[in-house]
Each structure stands twice: as C-alpha cells, then as structure tokens.
Structure 1
Amino acid sequence: TNKQTRIKYKIFSNLINEFGSLEAFKDESNAMAIFGCGWTWLVQTEFQMLRIVNSYNAGTALDTTRTQSVEPNFDSLSAPVISYVKEKEKSLQAPSAAPSAPPPNHLRFTPLLVLSVWEHAYLTDYGVNGRDKYIDQFWECVNWEKVDQRATFD
C-alpha cells in the first residue's frame, strides 16, 4: 500500500517470539536484503515458525525447490559438480503424474511478505544510489493486515 497499516497482534507477537522485537526483525530483514538482484521474504514454515529467506535472480519462495538461497555464481568451481549431481538425481527419479513432496531437506513454507531488491523496484523513485533508502521506506508501506491474513498460527 502507499501507507503502513497497523500491525495485528497475532503477527506482532510471533515476530517478537522469533526475532526479539519488531525493530530487530526489521534490522535482520534489512541486513539479509541481498546484494544484487532478487527477493527477501518473510515466510512461515510448516511448523509455524517465521523465517527470513532470500532468493536470487529467478529464485522464488513459492516453490521450495527453486529458492536459490545461495547466489548461483557463488562458487564457480563447484558448478560442474552440482550440474552432474542434478543430472544423476533426475535419472534416478521415476516419472510420476502426482505432484511430488518437497525434498526432505526443504521446508514447506508460506510467503507472508516480500521485498524486491531488483533495480527496477527502486531506480525511478530513489535513483542509482537509493537502494538503502528504498529498503528503509519499504517498512512504511507494509500492509500488515494482509501479512496477518496469510499467516496461520494456532
């Protein structure tokens, strides 16, 4: 939205439990905001815990197998090994018409809030050097009612 809404108790109390304070959550989110292009997400895990997750470039938190939580060019020496392992994994999987569950090392999670750190999100309004100001101003526009609606806490 173009103005911040009041944070609801349910999401507020869970943010406090996970991060200590709302300011600590904002600080951690800002610190986690990735260098380069991508997204920083607030997600709720299948265990109802809140986490901050990054996805680089075309990665997404909507599909846990595509989060790209590590910058793809992080270690160019391991790229051939990773692609070889992925090809071997594909050859071992039996085709199935039913959707498969996420791999055991991936949590299922629900995106609650996302910050785009792609240049086109801030260049027009904040300029080339305005990324940090854009991230700070992001918090003034969060629709906490929507965040609260997406979360499911017992």
Structure 2
Amino acid sequence: MFRSALRLKTLVRPAVAQVNSIARLHAVPELPYKFQEGVKPLLSAEALKVVYGEHQTDLINRLNRLIAGTPYESKLYYEVIMDSAASATDAQIFNNASQAWNNDFFLRSLTPNKKEMSERLRKALADSFGNVETFEQEFKANALGLFGSGWTWLVEDQNQRLVLLNTYNAGTPHHRRRQQRFDQTSTDLNFAKAAQDPRSGNSTFSAPLSTPSSSSSSSASNAAASGLRDGNASGSYMPILCVSMWEHAYLTDYGVTRTGREKYLDNFFKTVDWDTVEARIFRVGGF
C-alpha cells in the first residue's frame, strides 16, 4: 500500500519562482483555501497570517539564501530535504527546508469546510487504533506530551500500519537521521516517551512490528526507484497527517497554557480535511 515517494516529490515541490530577487529558486506555494480568511475554527486570519504569511515565507526566503550558488539550487524540493538530511554540514539547509515542508503539509491537511470521515477511512484508523475516538485521543495526548516545539504525526510504516510519531524542531519522518524523536524533557505523560518510537511496541497504540518478510526483487526495485526507505531498515515513514506544536501556531489564538493547547488540538480535529487524509492513505491523487 506504500505510494511512490517519487510522486510526492512532484506534488509537494513548491513552484519555481523568484523570491525577493534572490534567485530562481523555491517559492511559497498557495494554499487550497484563502489564507486571508483563516482556516476556522483552528486558526483565525491573524494566526494564519503568522503561520503562513510570515513564518512560511521567512523559511523559504532563508532557504533560498542558503542554497543560492550551491548544488542544492538545482535540486527538487524533496531532494533538498533528503540530501541535506544525510549531510553533517548542511544542518541549516535541512532545518529550513524540512520545517517549511512540515508547515506546508500541516496547512494542506486543513479545510475551513467541515469534512466527515468516510467509512473506509474509519475502518483504516480502527484497524490500527481500535476506533476513531481512540486514535484522536492518543494523537492529542501524544501532541500534549511534546515539551517544546515540534510535530505530532500520523504515519504509515513499512508494514502498512498507521502509527503515531513525535518529532522535535524540524524533524522529519522521511529520514531516520533527522527524525529528532528524543528529548530528555519530552513529556509529562507516562506513555508519550515510548510513543515517540512507533517501533518500540511500548505505547498504548502501537503494536510491536512483526518481522518483515524478504521483499521480492521487483518490490525492492520499486522502492529504490521511488526513494522510499524500508521502515525497519532505516526507520523512515510515510506521513499521513500532522499538527504543528510550535508556539507560533497556537499562541495567537490560544495563548501558552495547557488548556489553550488542548483547545487548539480539539479545533484541529474539527478542521482536518479527511478527504485529503484518506487520499494519502489509499494513494488517491497523492499529497
């Protein structure tokens, strides 16, 4: 059920355009809704202006300055993330590229028009979490367990299980070296620390991974061609849904308290575009 990451490279790559007359590099892609109106009930117009109009633009502009005149300048956006993730000296490039990708993925998971979950999607979530209510409860608990800035993800592993994953700062599910899953001050919840490693089998929602069978040569070649890493071999995952737990995402509308963050997460689930989530799981139309 793994969808080709090659398609992901094409669909999530920001359009090539000139930004602040720096170079013909990457530009902030438009959202599928009017950001001037916000995406309610999650983000007001003022909050979305911060998250998208200011933060996202600043990330892309800084990335363009960093890669101008380097070999990264001619790479696809996804290639910039993956290649800089593997480099010990390109942390700044990775941080800006990955953070912008995460932010864009988060915002594209939302809609101002309420969406109901299909029965097919309900079944997919129930197969991994028992039921939709448990999935939402544990997703929220995982997000609240982040002490500091980061992301909570619903991802698909190499065995086609849906599991939850926390990443700190600009951590990405795409590359094991830059997942940034661990922090000594990561949680005030007993199970959230284990939940940061979906392969641990210790969280309340992640069953232990079964030992994978050997891939056929055709499957292996398809995975290599797509750029996907094996879930067990490298710990990479296919992102399905994420929420930003960076302060700038919730501070404007919800303040800094835990109660505010809880309300932010409640409104997140009222604003998720479940059609988009379903398409990502079942590989319909891509990201």
Residue 156 of structure 2, aligned match among 27, 36, 44: 44
Q: Which residue of 2 aligns with 1:30?
A: 140
Stretch of structure 1 that moved more, 107-116 or 139-148: 107-116
Once superposed, which parts of structure 1, at least 4 consecutive aligned residues long, lie more than 4 Å away? 99-105
Structure 1 residue 15 displacement after superposition: 0.7
User: Normalising by structure 1, what TM-score?
Assistant: 0.74
AA in 2 matched with 1:36 = G
Structure 1 residue 151 displacement after superposition: 0.9
In structure 2, relative to structure 1, the CA distance for the partners of 1:114 and 1:101 (3 Å cut) is closer
Question: Contact conserved, 1:30 with 1:135, CA < 8 A, in 2?
Answer: yes
Report which structure shows greater RCO (CA 8 Å, sep ≥6): 1
> SS at 1:68's partner residue?
coil
Gaps of 5+ in 2: 1-110, 187-226
Q: Which residue of 2 aligns with 1:137?
A: 267
Structure 1 residue 100 displacement after superposition: 9.5
Q: Distance in 1 between matches of 2:156 and 2:231?
A: 18
Percent identity, aligned pairs only?
Answer: 40
Q: Which residue of 1 aligns with 2:278?
A: 148
Q: Which residue of 1 aligns with 2:94?
A: none
Structure 1 residue 23 displacement after superposition: 0.9
AA in 1 matched with 2:142 = M
Query: Root-mean-square deviation (CA), in Å?
Result: 2.5
Residue 127 of structure 1, aligned match among 246, 250, 255: 255
AA in 1 matched with 2:168 = Y
Q: Distance in 2 between matches of 1:40 and 1:135?
A: 11
Question: Contact conserved, 1:61 with 1:67, CA < 8 A, in 2?
Answer: yes
Find out whether 1:60 has 2:172 as its counterpart: yes
Size of the aligned set, in residue pairs, is: 130
Q: Determine which structure has the larger helix proportion and give its number.
A: 2
